[in-house]
Amino acid sequence: MTRTIVESKSRTAIIGFDQPFCVIGERINPTGRKVLAAQLEAGDFSTVEKDALEQVASGATMLDVNAGVVYNSNPNPNETEPPLMRQMIELVQGLVDVPLCIDSSVPGALEAGLEVCQGRPLLNSVTGEEERLERVLPLVKKYNVPVVAISNDDTGISMDPEVRFAVAKKIVERAADFGIPAHDIVVDPLMMPIGALSTAGLQVFTLVRRLREELGVNTTCGASNVSFGLPNRHGINAAFLPMAIASGMTSAIMNPVRPQEMDAIRAANLLMDNDPNGAAWIKANKPPLAEGEAEAGARGRREGRRRRG
């Protein structure tokens, strides 16, 4: 059974076929967030702190950390992104104890994050592009970490799912050349917007099944991509996630602060027998206690302690 182990200093998370779905919180990312980008450029990390705490409180298993800010004073990401990534990783792991996903298109920023990250983070990402393979896979091997493998290569993103599968297979095979096992590869088969490609969902469901059955790898995706450009995006996302889970997807980079989507994941975990005794579902849906009301069983526990005393 394929299991991808990720760790913080004090907590272990497992991405696996027989595990609860792994929710990778996406909020610590300045892409498309002008206010956050401006704050980071000014050295203000207050939103990062808020997003880290809020996502974990909402049920995130891991947190993605992206430092891709375009500085007005110095637009070169090879110079600006590594030190910012280092700062953000140190800050976030000082606030929360969940494992982290180090997210960058700049290899120097990936390594800067790896140098200061405690535990065993997930690296995001490698692609099938030759230059990227040659620069990122040595980092994966050197630091003994798992990596997200995105199914595009030097030709770009293919609309043909057969090509995307072939790219994923190529990455798994090239990783093996570096001594990196398949269980440390988490493939992103690329979720296209359903509004632009009506078969995008069906393509990904089929790809996830093939990746699981033929390559034995865990999978992930940017879940919100499916609804891009459409109204009621959270309704679409909440339908997509359980369908992806039923197809074999084991994680997603998503916004855990949205209750509709988290409820869908908890229900899917329960229905897929990945929530022992329904404990997580019951805990998340337990009615709030009325004022002055004691939790069921609390009185008995108190009396038992008094009797033992």
Per-residue model confidence as pLDDT tens digits over 160-177: 999 999 999 999 999 999
Per-residue model confidence as pLDDT tens digits over 179-220: 999 999 999 999 999 999 999 999 999 999 999 999 999 999
pTM: 0.93
CB 62 within 8 Å of CB 101: yes
Instruction: Compute the average pLDDT of residues 124-130.
Output: 97
For 190, residues 6+ apart whose C-beta sits below 8 A from its C-beta are: 150, 151, 152, 157, 164, 204, 221
pLDDT at 308: 54
Please state whether 114 falls in left (phi above 0), alpha (psi between -120 and 50) or beta: alpha
**What confidence category does residue 1 fall into, taking pLDDT thresholds of 50, 70 and 90?**
confident
pLDDT at 141: 98
Per-residue model confidence as pLDDT tens digits over 268-293: 999 999 999 999 999 999 988 777 77
**Structural domains in the chain plus CATH codes:** 3-23+100-272 (3.20.20.20)
For residue 259 the two structure tokens come to 């209750």
